[in-house]
Amino acid sequence: MHSFLTANNFNILTKEPTEKFHKLIHKTMQESNLIIDKKQIKSLTQKKASPRTLKAQLKLHKADIPIRPVINNRTAPAYKLARHLTKILDQYISLNNYFNVTNSTNLANDLTKLEIDENHRMICFDIKDLYVSVPIDETLNIVKTKLLQSNNIQITYQMLSLLKIVPSQNYSTFQQKKTYQPEQDISMGSPISSLIAEILLQHYEDANIKQRLDTRA
């Protein structure tokens, strides 16, 4: 596990920051009246906040048996807020889904329509350590651009203020001893992380793959 923490640039924190983040969340929610009603603040506040716990699973099916980090995020100060923001972002941002399938049934139907011959090849791409590779500042700029397309400036900046808090709470304790924090990470185990990553990946796809395909067409 030590080699995984070192390889992914995890730093050891000298002070456990849960109380600081807990206060910051409450303060920011109070300042975000266009996103969060005052009556919602209590229900979105983690009553007994504690650090996320980090455990390790071994990927026995892969060479060199790499580690898969498993993080319990339910006690984290930002967990309830992240879950709430996921629903709001889903309403405010429409993803094109040019290269995504919505469900397995649609995938099966699409595959039956493909005309494949002996010259075709199937290629599988995988992103190594996706969550620890997502550039947070760049992703938030993409989110900002998308939010401004359908919302006013005040709503956008209140939303961004809330979104900046969630990725920063990416610290975890390991074996109840030390507190670790990666240099770059979008909070593995957080309800909002998959959506944030999807927004970034679809932006790359739209800016690169789709543009090239449209040009060839």
The share of the chain scoring above pLDDT 70, in percent, equals 91
**Whose structure tokens read 């983690």?**
46
For the chain, counts of helices (H) and of strands (E): 9, 5
127-139 pLDDT, tens digit each: 777 777 888 889 9
Q: Is 24 exposed, middle or buried (0-12, 13-18, 19+ CB in 10 A)?
A: middle
- Report if pTM > 0.85: no
**Which pLDDT score, from 0 to 100, does residue 10 have?**
76
What span, in angstroms and rounded, lies between the C-alpha atoms of 108 and 111? Answer: 5
Q: For 180, left (φ over 0), alpha (ψ -120 to 50), or beta? A: beta
97-112 pLDDT, tens digit each: 888 887 889 889 988 9
Q: Predicted confidence band at 43 (pLDDT cuts at 50, 70, 90)?
A: very high
